[in-house]
Structure formats: C-alpha cells, structure tokens
Structure 1
Amino acid sequence: MSVQYGKVVSLILLERFGPVVEKVGTYLYQYGTVPLLYIKKNTNLPLSKVKEALCILIKYRLVTFTPNRNENIANYTLQHDRVLLTLRYAKYINLIKKKFGNECEMIVEELLQRSYWTASELILKVIERIKRDHNKIVTILALREKFFSLVTAQYLIRLPFSREDKPVPNLILEESEQFVPPPIDLKKMTSVQNNSEPVDSLPDKDVYWTVNFDRFHQDMRDKLIVNAFTKKFDENGGEFVRLLLQQMYMRTSPWAEVSNPVPIVEIRDIVRKQATHQHLLAFFDQYVNVLEQDNSNLIRQAGEAGGGSFQIFLKETFTKFAEETVEQVVLEKFDTKAARIFRLVKSKKYIEPDQIQQLAMIPAKEAKRLSYQLLEENFLQVQDLKKSSSNGPNKCFTLFHVDFDQIIRMILELCYKTLFNIMTRKNHERLVHKRIIDKKQRVDTIIMGMRAQGAAEEQLSDIEEMITPPEKEILQQIDLTMKKLNSVELEIDETIFLLQMYLIYQ
C-alpha cells in the first residue's frame, strides 16, 4: 500500500469526520480486512467509539463488511478509493448542474451529504430547501420527474439490501434492479408534507438510493477526451468526438477498451439535425480523415464492417495521454534534452548508452549525465546482458529501457504527496488566521440576519466597519492563497484521474 496515499486518506478522514474515525480508518487502511475486536485492541479506543466510527464509515460507504467463517462476526474493509472521491464532490455537483439544472443539483448535493436516502424523503427535503433558500415553490410531480431523469441516466443507483435475516447481513442487488424507478405515491407524499401522515407510511420507505460514482467518472473521462481533441484541433473536432462517444454507448459497454463499429452516417445525421455546428457539417469528411489519421489512434476504420463505420480505441487513447503527461513531467523536472532522451529510449524499447548520444544528437558527456540522472529518478531502467565472446571472457552490455507502468505509479505517488502538502497548507492557513476568519463569519451572519429583517444600509455599513482595513487586507490575502491552493488541488486531481484511467485500461 502507498504511504503517501495513506497520508491523504487519513487527512481526509480527519477533516471530515474527526480524530476517532480517522484512527479507525487509518488502522483499516494499514491492516486490511479485520474484525471489530482487532480494531478495538490495536487502536486503544473504547468499544462504543469503535462501533460509532464504523457506523459512520459504513453509512458513507467508506467501509464494507463481509461475514467471517462462522458467519456471526463481520470483517471490515476500508474502501480507500471512495475516501479520495470526497475531494471530487464539487465536480460531481457542478456536472449535474450544467447537465440537468438547479433542482437536480440539489438532489445530488443532498445525497452526497447524507450518503443515501429514499426517493420520497429526498424529494420532500429538496422541496423544503428550495422554498426556504430561494423562496420558490416546486411541485412534487416536477421534482419526481427530475429524480426519475437522474435514475434513467444512471447518476443515481439503488443500494443493495439483505434478503435474509442473518447476524451479518449479505447485501445483494440484482443488476436488473439497480436503476428501476421507485414507487412514489404523490398523495401520500402530500400528506407527509402537511404532517397528516408519518414518513413510515410512504411506499418506498425501504428503497434507498445513492450516487453512482462510476457514471460520473464516465462523463469525466469523456470530457477529458473531448477537451484534448478540442485543444488539438478545434471546437468542431471536439464536438465530433463527443457525438462519436455518445453513439458508442448505444452499442458497447461504457468501459470497453474497443467499441463496436459506429456508422459515420449516424454522426452526420445528428450534426445535420442539431444545426449548431454548420462548419462541422460543411467539412465533415475532412474532419473524419484528420481524426482517423491522428496519432492518438482514437478512431479507426472498422476492418470487417467497413463502409464508413469506425471503432473507438479508448485504451490507446489513454495510453497516449499518459505518455504525453509523463513526457511533460520529465520536461518540467529536468529540461528539453532529458525529455528528448526519454522519448528516444521509449520509442526504441531497448537502447545502448552510446546510441543515445548519437541518435539524440547530444554531447556524450551531457547525454551520459542526463541518462543516469533519469535512471536515478526512476524514469529509466537498466538491464545488463552478458554475451559470450569467441576471443575472451564474457562481455556485458548495458541497455536502457522504460518501465512505463512503474513510472505511472511513481508519478501517482508524487501527485498524492503534492495533494497532501496542499491540504496541509490549507489547514495551516485556516489555523493561523482562525481568529480573523471566525470574526468575518460572525459579521457576515449578523449582516445576513439584519438584511432579512429589512435593516437600513447605514446599519449594515456600521456592522461591516467592525472589520478594520488591515483585517480586510489579510482576508483578501487569505482568499487569494486559498483560491490558488484550490486551483492546484483541482489540477492535481485531474492528473490523478487521467493516470488512473490509464491503469484501468491496462
């Protein structure tokens, strides 16, 4: 297990759930699947605290459990990959807002905060929130349709449940049941809303829903591909790739390495019907030829089908993206000559040191220095070969080569280390300026309350003057620093996501 990854997981658990949950989560990360009493013994926490921490982690799907051999004791396992996903919650919410609107954004936000909920209770909660925060009335029917649209698009998924009464329940859900809309009784919901009936009377009281992270990652993956081709060509090239991916889902599993053939005629018809990209329609054949000849190998003509059908090769695409990312890392960490050497070794598979200076056209001394510098930083590997000589003893050949999977995992470690440093720095900034930040929050709360009561502008100005000009300068500096750190955190997460996509397709 990665040490840096473990540090990030522990820090996230500490920030979101406190020291007790963090201690239990860190122990599970280090020791894997263990029963309750082992956790209590090795964390030195009271049994009640351990149980409470496990309940919280299970509630947020950060810990799963399986029955032991005697089926009366549960073994607990930390889902560390889901812990890291909490950093992407803002991205998920923003994605839904752009795609489905404000009401769906609130539905997903409430689910992320609570982890799971029944459809009826969730709808009633969102209606109450819209009325309170936005002074707007939304009908139960309208919000039910919004909820169904999220289920149909598979952004929400039903939680598995136990079909048998056992000491350690075995949670099961058939694949065909994952996205079946729940039974929602509008009359009963109206009665519950008016406090005429209890919540337990709702027909879907035992059907719980949660966020389907896999579906969000599918969209994030597609966005990454579309943005790459938009930057490389233009907006029309990106739109073509987006439509191609969209049609792929009608024929192929979303995470397949290679799609089934997609007729280009379908893409042309969609572009014609949309009538939003006239330039793409006018030069459609040229865009097809350019994308087909692109070295990323995203689309190729289908061999058997032919006739204008193309296949999407996602594995090769993310391999190319990962290679370009690694080359950029080498360029920024060293220089252009080191990047040239790295590309040369990668393209040649195996190469002797003397060949590097000749083919890379770099002086021998500098080529040797850079090669061994890359070797020291684990961007290059060496393999010694012994060849029998007819006139003397064995002769040893040293060959440089690239272990790409190892480099990807090494860069992921660097990303986790950077992420941990950024989060630590943000916590330090908050701690150092805690007094001023708390004062600003108190003033903002007072102003908000007075404005709701219809206070005059002069009164509000007097309250605002409680924060002195020097304090305002400090707050502006804190805000600027936090924005920079948040921006870097988002960029690091995008790099982590790209490299993880490469590993998924290997």
Structure 2
Amino acid sequence: MTQAEARLCSLLLQEHFGEIVDRVGQYIIRTGSQPLRIIAKDTGTSLDQVKKALCVLIQHNLVSYQMHKRGFVEYTAHCDRCLRMLRYPRYIYTAKTLYGDTGELIIEELLLNGKMTLTAVVKKVADRLTETMEDGKSMEYSDVSTTFSQLADTHFVQRCPALQDEESTTPTEGRRPPVPTLVTNEKEMYTVPRVVMIGRGKRRRSSDEDEGASQSKRAKRDQETSSQDDGIYWQINTERFHQHFRDQAIISAVSNKMDQTSSEIVRTMLRMSEITTSSQAAHTHPLSSNEIFRALPKGFNISKQVLDQYLALLADDPLEFVGRSGDSGGGMFVINLHKAVATLATCNLESIVQERFGSRCARIFRLLLRKRHLEQKQVEDFAMIPAKEAKEMLYKMLSVNLIALQEIPKTPDHAPSRTFYLYTVNPLPAARMLLQRCYKTVANLIERRQFETKENKRLLEKSQRIEAIIASMQATGAEEAQLQEIEEMITAPERQQLENLKRNVNKLDASELQVDDTIFILEAFISSTKARV
C-alpha cells in the first residue's frame, strides 16, 4: 500500500460514505488488521459509531473480518476494492449500454447498497422505473426479474459467498462468533432462484392514508415473496466488468490498427469465450474457423473465404492479438489476452513519454523497446539524433525511471573504461511507477473538484432553492411571468459563475474517467505479468 493509494482511498471513502466511515476505513488501511476496541480508541470515535461504520464497510465488501487465534475479531480493509469505487460510473454506463435502463438501475442499486436480495432489487428498480413512465403506466416485476436473470447469466452479477454459520454474519464484541467459513460453489454463484413475483412498480402517493394502505399491501406481498428468496444476497461481479473493459480495449485497438471487419471478427471470438474463459487466462479457448463463421452477426455479410483471409491476416499481424493453435475445423484460433494487454500498456507508456518529453524521446523509447539493450552511441545512430541531444534525453528519462541503465563489466574490478553501459526499458517497473502517478493525479482531481464546489457552495444552494421553487410553481400551474420573475433572482454574473463552475466540474469529471482508463490498462498489465510469473 503506497501513500498515493491510501490518499485516494481516503478521498473515495469520504466522498461516498462521509467523514466517520473515512476515518475508520483509513485507520484500518494504514495499520492493517485491528480489533474493534483498538479502532475506537485510536480513532477517537465512540464504539457505537465505529460499529456502524464497520457495518457500512462490510456491507459494501470493503472490509472483512476473521477470528484471531486469541479469541477476538479482527477487521481487515481491502484497498483494491476501495479503489474500484472510482469505476462505479463506468460499471453503471456499461450496464445501460448492454441492458438498457433496467440493467442500469439494477447495477446502480447494487452499488448503492453493497448487496441486496433479488426481490428487494426488483421492487426498488420497478418503482423507480414506474416513476419515470408517463400515461399512468407501471413497470412489471417480471420484466425487471428477466433483466436481472440476463445479468446473472452473463456473470455481471453474482451471489454473495454464503457463510457456513449464519450467526457469524453479524459479529459483535460481546461474544465470540465462530470463524466464518465461506461456501463458494461456482455453479450456484450465477443461478437465479425461481421467485414468483406478481405485481407492478408503485408510484409515490401524497396522501398519508393512501401511503399507509400501500405500505400494508406491500408488507403483505413482501412476506409472501421473502420465503422464496431464501436470504440469497447478490452483488456485482467487478471481475466480469473488468473483463468486458479489457475486451472493448482489444476490439478498439484492432479497429484502429486494421479495419471495422477485423474488429467485428475479434469481437465475435471474445463474445464466444466471455463466459468460459477466466479473467486471468493467458488466452481464450481455441475456436475453429467454422465456429467463428456461424457465430458472426446476421447482418455481417462476409463469405467463409473472406473470413479465412481476415483470420490469416490477424494471425500474421505483428501485434499477435490473434494466434493459431491448430489446423482442425478450418483452423483453430485464440485471442492472446496477456499479449494484447501488454501491447496496450506499452502503447500507453509510449504515449505518456511523447506527451511529457516530446516526439524525439518517444522515438528513443520505442527504439529501446524494440532493440532491448543499446549503448548510447547506438541510440544516437539508430534514432538519428545528435549526440548531445540524445544524451540529454536519455538522462532525462533515466532520472524519472522510465528507462534503466545496465552495467556489464569486462573485468571484475568494474572499471568504467572496461564496462559496457546499456540502456533498456523495463515495462513492468515503468508501469508501476506511472500507476502511482495516476493515483496521485486522480486524488488531485477529486480535491480540486471538492474545492471548486466548496468555494461556490452559497451560489449552488441558492440555485437549488430557486429550481425547487420553480418546480413547485410549475406543478401548481403558475403563470409564465411569475416563473420568469423567480428566475431573475439569479443575476447575470451569478449565472455566468454557475456556467463556469459546471464547465470546470465537467472537465474534472472527464479527466478522472480518462485517467481511470489508463489506470485500468496498467493494472491489467501488472496483474497479467504476475500471473505469467
């Protein structure tokens, strides 16, 4: 755990859960596994507040607990899961793209609540969709349940690992709960229970009597369906989302390198293997040319002969995204996932070098990647750059650890005159260094956004009050002149200040998402390198 990661985790916890949860979570992240009373004492927080904060963190899978050998419960924070909160908007947008508004709200509810039962998710999403429908229409529970089943079938949502002893799900300090033994059955992780849900989403009612009647009916209906749900809780499968992000990055790279037809072929191969291939696998399962041809989209009209030509071109491409694994069935092909991720990470490194040091440094960096080891004179000759400039650029990149210097002595005394000094690029250390810089960048962006919002807090509150007044007047049928008079309460300079604030915040949000794309590629590269080792 580095300082940049701890700082970013603290900002994300504070932004999502507030100051107390941030204080407790940050303490556990910084000190490691700790018991309840030590956390309360060292953070200066009351025992009751620490318990509530831990419940929130456990509910969102950010903290786990286990029994210490001395008989007390220890709590452990998971920094990697905290950092994934940065990617929550991307998870929601992906669900919206693949499964529409219903899928978007299902993922949003699971992220907001950490874990939920099927019936609770379906009812909450149906109610929210009903609120947005016009002409008095309502969303059927069965439609939401169908979308939930589709998300489970494609592994975007999964069951929470069940505990062997149900009493251990709520640890307390007053007794010694048994060590929680997780029950994980791969086949049942994505099996949706058969829950019969009959009904529609309900709109909010203004009358207290109607509200009380609807709550009694809903309580009766909840009691009927709770037994069918059988206490099974669901959460999102972040690894599956990350696999989808990786696949989309590979498809985009193939499209930019070759053409749209090639990217569609690669998309088909990845779609055929998305469920059967592990997220840490080095390559997909072998697929024959005949299988790929049958799985192509219906509107994609290419012949079998043209497909074989495209597959041959992809397999012979220097990127090596697609590889051969046999000749049966018209040829067997795989997607080299680790190779593709390494290529994407290398391209990111080259882009960062070019943006920071210029095109000539990028030329030297690419040359070292291709040639592996070169002396300074060889760099000057191959890159066709004057000796003084080449030396300055090499030392500049060496000072920030983008390249490394390797000494190979001719004699045991390591005399400089009898030693080869070779420049090289080690992608893994460079990726780790740039990943920490990306964490620091995102933390700076979040702090800047919070500063902008805090500086304009009074103006934002005034704007929100005026918008609420206008909305209430529109609901009561107010005249246009009255609405215009309320809108004029915000002066022209204040309106201009609000527009500038909105533009700046949007830029900061977009920058966070762009940096997160780089973070994802670098994390995937480091993870795949560890898997290979």
| TM class, shorter-length | over 0.9
2:368 equivalent to 1:345: yes
Alpha-carbon distance between aligned partners in 1 of 2:198 and 2:299, rounded to the nearest angstrom: 43
Instruction: Find the residue that maps to 2:126 and give its secondary structure.
Output: helix
Q: CA deviation at 1:342?
A: 1.8
Q: CA deviation at 1:419?
A: 0.6
Residue 208 of structure 2 is matched in structure 1 by none
Residue 387 of structure 1 is matched in structure 2 by 410
Distance 1:48 1:312, change over 3 A: same
The correspondence of residues 337-376 of structure 1 with structure 2, limited to 5 A, is 337-376=360-399
Residue 452 of structure 1 is matched in structure 2 by 475
Per-residue CA distance 1:99-158 (angstroms, 9 max, x = gap)? 112122222211111111111122122222222333431222222222222222221111
Deviating more after overlay: 53-62 vs 124-133? 124-133
Alpha-carbon distance between aligned partners in 2 of 1:106 and 1:284, rounded to the nearest angstrom: 39
Alpha-carbon distance between aligned partners in 2 of 1:157 and 1:389, rounded to the nearest angstrom: 60
Q: CA deviation at 1:393?
A: 10
TM-score norm. by structure 1 comes to: 0.92
The correspondence of residues 40-439 of structure 1 with structure 2, limited to 5 A, is 40-70=40-70, 72-135=71-134, 136-164=137-165, 165-166=167-168, 167-170=177-180, 171-186=182-197, 194-195=217-218, 197=220, 199-201=222-224, 202-203=226-227, 204-249=229-274, 252-271=277-296, 274-278=297-301, 283-303=306-326, 305=328, 307-388=330-411, 395-439=418-462
- Stretches of structure 2 lacking an aligned partner (at least 5 in a row): 169-176, 202-213
Instruction: Find the residue that maps to 1:351 and give its secondary structure.
Output: coil
Verify the 8 A CA contact 1:280 1:287 in the aligned structure 2.
no
**Aligned length, in residue pairs:** 502
Q: CA deviation at 1:295?
A: 1.8
Alpha-carbon distance between aligned partners in 1 of 2:25 and 2:192, rounded to the nearest angstrom: 34
Residue 210 of structure 2 is matched in structure 1 by none
Alignment-mate amino acid for residue 357 of structure 1? E
Residue 497 of structure 1 is matched in structure 2 by 520
Deviating more after overlay: 149-158 vs 445-454? 445-454
Per-residue CA distance 1:271-309 (angstroms, 9 max, x = gap)? 3xx342336878434422332222210112214647321
Aligned-residue identity in percent: 34
Alpha-carbon distance between aligned partners in 2 of 1:312 and 1:288, rounded to the nearest angstrom: 11
Distance 1:90 1:218, change over 3 A: same
- Stretches of structure 1 lacking an aligned partner (at least 5 in a row): none
Alpha-carbon distance between aligned partners in 2 of 1:280 and 1:39, rounded to the nearest angstrom: 66
TM-score norm. by structure 2 comes to: 0.88
Distance 1:411 1:38, change over 3 A: same
Residue 3 of structure 1 is matched in structure 2 by 3
Q: Which has the higher contact order (CA 8 A, sep 6+)?
A: 2
Verify the 8 A CA contact 1:162 1:169 in the aligned structure 2.
no
Alpha-carbon distance between aligned partners in 1 of 2:163 and 2:143, rounded to the nearest angstrom: 32
Q: CA deviation at 1:378?
A: 0.5
Residue 21 of structure 2 is matched in structure 1 by 21
Q: CA deviation at 1:450?
A: 2.5
Question: Root-mean-square deviation (CA), in Å?
Answer: 2.5
Distance 1:231 1:31, change over 3 A: same
Residue 209 of structure 2 is matched in structure 1 by none
Q: CA deviation at 1:394?
A: 8.1
Alpha-carbon distance between aligned partners in 1 of 2:41 and 2:333, rounded to the nearest angstrom: 59
Alignment-mate amino acid for residue 398 of structure 1? Y
